[in-house]
Amino acid sequence: MTNVIIHGCNGKMGHTILDLLKDDEEITVVAGVDTFDEGKNSFPVFSDIRQCDVRGDVVIDFSVAPAVDGLLEYCVKEHTPCVLCTTGLCKEQLTKVEEASKEVAILKSANMSLGINMLMKLLKDAAAILAPAGFDIEIVEKHHRLKVDAPSGTALALGDAVNEALNGEYEYVYDRSERRQQRPKKEIGFSAVRGGTIVGDHDVIFAGADEVITFSHRAYSKAVFGKGAIQAAKFLKGKPAGLYDMSHVIG
């Protein structure tokens, strides 16, 4: 049995995880953390994780960037592993994540979906074959109208997976509107679409002479991210200090 603390328990993803865990016999939620306490939870809820006096095996975090500093402080102090799902961290916070991982196990991934992380593995193989054969690489991502960052962290992670297989030789291009020249061979172009309630669509396009190969992933609900986080929590329990990602979970 894995005892879990949900950091951001009353947010949208917190509710999603709690719904998924109703039928999971391998995990018990022992505490939650949220600035807003609905008073409906069957476990104690604290406004700040540093106030939490309930021990857990793992913290699952879907909160906001300003809360991550306190989260890392708590996890190091209590030696509690953390599945860190909050995005939009600044460079200073990313440095703190790396420092904390020297003391406690932390799993951080740009996207918690098992499908996206499997796609990253496939892209490395595809890029190693197709790029040397002259295929151009483009990434198109689509998200709901409320998303403020572009391109998405997932799109960048997909680009990183491709570039890793190409020895980091490719340049990332986000805007061609001011450029009047042919497309260089060694670039990865990113395009972002924002509209409606799109949960998350990603297409990685390999465009060659007379043929196009497209790798696509569609998220139809936020549940895919919750399922991945739950799998990650089960994996992280009892792990030694270190910085992990979803590639460790899927093997």
Q: DSSP code of 57? A: S
Q: Is 111 annotated as a binding residue?
A: yes
Out of 15, 124, 147, 239, pick the active-site residue: 147
Q: Of 202, 204, 198, 206, give the one whose Cα is nearest residue 217.
A: 202
Structure tokens given for 7? 């950091």
Out of 142, 143, 217, 237, pick the active-site residue: 143
Q: Is 12 annotated as a binding residue?
A: yes
Q: Is 197 annotated as a binding residue?
A: no
Q: Is 214 annotated as a binding residue?
A: no
Q: Is 120 annotated as a binding residue?
A: no
Q: Is 144 annotated as a binding residue?
A: yes
Q: Is 85 annotated as a binding residue?
A: yes
Q: Is 167 annotated as a binding residue?
A: no
Residues with Cβ < 8 Å from 53, sequence gap 6 or more? none
Residues with Cβ < 8 Å from 226, sequence gap 6 or more? 13, 16, 17, 19, 20, 112
Is it true that the peptide bond before 151 is cis, omega within 30 degrees of 0?
Answer: yes
Q: Is 11 annotated as a binding residue?
A: yes
Task: Give the strand pairing for 171-173 and 187-194.
Answer: parallel
Q: Is 8 annotated as a binding residue?
A: yes
Active-site residue, 147 included:
yes
Active-site residue, 143 included:
yes
Q: Of 171, 148, 176, 149, give the one whose Cα is nearest residue 160.
A: 171
Structure tokens given for 42? 């069957």
Please list the active-site residues.
143, 147
What residue numbers does the annotated binding site cover? 8-13, 37, 85-87, 109-112, 144, 153-154
Q: Annotated binding site for (S)-2,3,4,5-tetrahydrodipicolinate, which residues?
A: 144, 153-154
